[in-house]
Amino acid sequence: MKVQPFRFENVGQLCEASAQLGMELPYQADSKVLGTPIKIGDKTVKNRILIQPIEGFDSNADGSPSERSVARYCEMARNGAGAIWIESVSVNEEGRSNGAQLWITRENVGSFEKMNQAIQQAGDGDVYTILQLTHSGRYSNPHGTPRPVCAFHSESIPKENERIITDEELEALEEDYVEAILLAQQAGFDAVDVRACHGYLINELFAAVNRPGRYGGSFENRVRMLLNIIDKAKSRCSIVIGVRLNMYDGVPYPDGWGVDHEDPTKMDLEEPLKLVRLLNARGVRLLNVSNGIGAYSPFVIRPYDTGGLEPFEPQLAGINRMLTCARLAKQNAPDMIVVGSALTWLREFGPGVAAAAIEKGWYDIAGFGRQALAYPEFSRDILSGDGMRRSRCCVTCCGCTNMIKKQGKMLRCVMREKLSKN
Ligand SMILES: Cc1cc2nc3c(=O)[nH]c(=O)nc-3n(C[C@H](O)[C@H](O)[C@H](O)COP(=O)(O)O)c2cc1C
C-alpha cells in the first residue's frame, strides 16, 4: 500500500488497510477507559488523555513563557486532559532551537511556576504536568543562525559549521540538566522529561558508534549521558523523572539508532529495549515512546497526508511501529507508565485505537499531539462520550510544523482558524 491521504469512512476500512500491511490495528468502539484514573508514583492522574509536547516558538527573549504560551496550556487543561507534557525547554542558551524556545533559568523560574499554577487553575487544580528538558544539539540555533552542536559527524544529516562537542562539555552539560531538573521541581511541576528523542543531543549520542572517548563506541558509553543525568538528579531531587525516548529513528546505520544495519526502514530494538530495562532499573517510572527524527524521518514521528518530506512508508506502518515499540517497552518494563504516541492521523478513530491498546496492556496513557492544536475540545468530546467529530479533526497537513520550522513563526493551526471564520 502506498502513502495515501486519510480516506477511511469507517473503522472497518481502516483495520482492513492495516491488515493488508500485515499488521493488527487494535480498536474498540468503547473508549471509556480513557476516562479512568491512573497512578504515576504517589499521584493519581485523573484520566488517560495526555497532551504531547508541541513547541510553540512563543517564549519571551529570556526563555520564560509568554502570555501566549501559558494560554495554550490553559486551553488544554480547561478541556479536561489529565496530563500535559509541556514542550521542549532548553537547559542552557546554546542548546535553544531558536530564540523563542522556552529556556529555564534561576532568574526566570518564577514565570514557570506561575505557568504551572495557571494550568492548575484552568484544570480544576488537577492536571499532571511534565516539563520536557532538552539541548537541541545538531539543531541548535539560539540567535537566528544555526550553531550545530553535534555528537559526531553524520553523513546522513550533514551540518555546515558543525562543532563536535567534547567529553568535558558533555560532562558539564549533565550539570545543566540537573540544575534545570531542580528548577522544574522548584516551579512545582509533577515530573520532568530528560528528552531523548527526535535526534536532539542525548538521542543523537545513542548512535555515536564511531565517536571516540567516554560517550561513544560501546552501548554503555552511548547511553552514559542520559543515565548520568538520571543518577545525579535522583541523588539531589525528589521530582518524578520521565524520559521521552526514541526507540527507532529511521536513519541509516551507523548514524541511526534502533535501525537494522542493512535496512534503515526496519527496526532492530535490541539496544533500545536494553536501555528501557536500564531506565526501569534506575526507577524511571514514566516513559513516552517515540520514533523518528524531525529533519530526516518526520513521517515516522507524526504520520501525515501532505506538506512534509516524502515518506518511505504508508502512514499506518508508522502508527503500527509506534504501537509495537510501546508494547515491547511495556513488556520489558512493566513497572513503568508508558505513554503511546502518533494518534492524530487516525482522526476520530484515535481514541478507539488507544483504548484497545490500553485494554490489551500495550500501554497506559494515550498521548495526542497535533489533535490538541487543531481541535482543543477533543479531550472533552472523548470524555463526555460524544466522540470526536471528523470535521474538527487535524487534517495532518504539516502546516503547524512548517509554520515554526520553515517560517520561524509562532505555532498556529491554520485549518482551525479557517474553520472558526466560517
Ligand atoms: C509543530 C510540532 C512541534 C513539536 N514539538 C515537540 C516537542 O517540543 N517535543 C517533543 O517531544 N515532540 C514534539 N513534537 C512531536 C509531538 O509531540 C508528537 O510526538 C507528534 O506530533 C505525533 O503525535 P500526533 O500524531 O498526536 O500529532 C512536535 C510536533 C509538532 C507537529
Nearest to 238 by CA among 378, 43, 29: 43
In the prediction, which pLDDT does 3 show? 82
Q: 85 CA to middle of ligand 1, Å?
A: 10
pLDDT band at 152 (very low <50, low <70, confident <90, very high): very high
Q: What percent of the chain has a predicted confidence (pLDDT) above 70? A: 100
Contact (Cβ atoms closer than 8 angstroms) between residue 224 and residue 123: no
- Distance (Å, whole) CA 412 – CA 270: 38
Cell triple for 78: 480547561
Measured from the Cα of 53, ligand 1's closest atom is 17
Task: Establish whether residue 290 lines the binding site of ligand 1, counting it when its CB lies within 6 angstroms of any ligand atom.
Answer: yes
Dihedral angle, C-alpha 114, 337, 170, 298, nearest 10 ° = -90
Model confidence pLDDT, tens digit, residues 259-308? 999 999 999 999 999 999 999 999 999 999 999 999 999 999 999 999 99
Amino acid at 223: V
- Distance (Å, whole) CA 232 – CA 280: 16
Measured from the Cα of 341, ligand 1's closest atom is 23
Q: What is the largest CA-CA distance in the chain?
A: 59
* CB-based burial label for 12 (10 Å; 0-12, 13-18, 19+): exposed
Task: Establish whether residue 74 lines the binding site of ligand 1, counting it when its CB lies within 6 angstroms of any ligand atom.
Answer: no
pLDDT exceeds cutoff 70 at 68: yes
- Distance (Å, whole) CA 208 – CA 214: 11
3-state secondary structure at position 220: helix
Amino acid at 176: D
Lowest average pLDDT, out of 114-118, 358-362, 412-416, goes to 412-416
Radius of gyration of the chain (CA): 20
Model confidence pLDDT, tens digit, residues 335-349? 999 999 999 999 999
In the prediction, which pLDDT does 1 show? 58
In the prediction, which pLDDT does 4 show? 85
Residue 254 exposure: Cα atoms within 13 Å on the Cβ side: 13
Model confidence pLDDT, tens digit, residues 102-113? 999 999 999 999
Model confidence pLDDT, tens digit, residues 188-211? 999 999 999 999 999 999 999 999
Axis-axis angle for helices 109-122, 167-186 (nearest 10): 50
| Protein residue with least CA distance to atom 4, ligand 1 | 54
Q: How far is CA 120 from the centre of its chain?
A: 22
pLDDT exceeds cutoff 70 at 52: yes
Measured from the Cα of 398, ligand 1's closest atom is 31
Q: Which residues have C-beta within 8 Å of that of residue 124, sequence separation ≥ 6?
A: none
Question: Could you tell which of 6, 50, 54, 290 is best to mutate to test the pocket of ligand 1, judged by most ligand atoms within 8 Å of the CB?
Answer: 54
Query: What's the average model confidence in pLDDT over 15-35?
Result: 96
- Please name every residue paired with 83 in a beta bridge, in sequence order, or none if there are none: 50, 128
Distances (CA, A) of 40 to 118, 163, 338: 22, 39, 10
Nearest to 154 by CA among 207, 200, 206, 212: 207
Contact (Cβ atoms closer than 8 angstroms) between residue 63 and residue 101: yes
In the prediction, which pLDDT does 193 show? 98
Model confidence pLDDT, tens digit, residues 5-22? 999 999 999 999 999 999
pLDDT exceeds cutoff 90 at 141: yes
Distances (CA, A) of 173 to 91, 311, 392: 8, 34, 42
Task: Establish whether residue 87 lines the binding site of ligand 1, counting it when its CB lies within 6 angstroms of any ligand atom.
Answer: yes
3-state secondary structure at position 46: coil
Model confidence pLDDT, tens digit, residues 401-417? 999 988 889 999 988 88
Torsion angles phi and psi, residue 203, rounded to 5: -65, -40
Q: Which class is domain 26-421?
A: alpha beta
Nearest to 95 by CA among 202, 229, 210: 202
In the prediction, which pLDDT does 417 show? 87
pLDDT exceeds cutoff 80 at 422: no
Q: 233 CA to middle of ligand 1, Å?
A: 26
Nearest to 191 by CA among 127, 100, 106, 247: 127
In the prediction, which pLDDT does 419 show? 82
- Distance (Å, whole) CA 5 – CA 395: 9
β-strand pairing of 43-45 with 38-40: antiparallel
Query: What's the average model confidence in pLDDT over 369-396?
Result: 97
- Distance (Å, whole) CA 124 – CA 77: 8
| Protein residue with least CA distance to atom 30, ligand 1 | 54
- Of the two residues 96 and 405, the one the predictor is more confident about is 96
- Distance (Å, whole) CA 8 – CA 110: 47
Q: What is the mean pLDDT of the chain?
A: 97
Task: Establish whether residue 369 lines the binding site of ligand 1, counting it when its CB lies within 6 angstroms of any ligand atom.
Answer: yes
In the prediction, which pLDDT does 29 show? 96
Q: How far is CA 67 from the centre of its chain?
A: 23
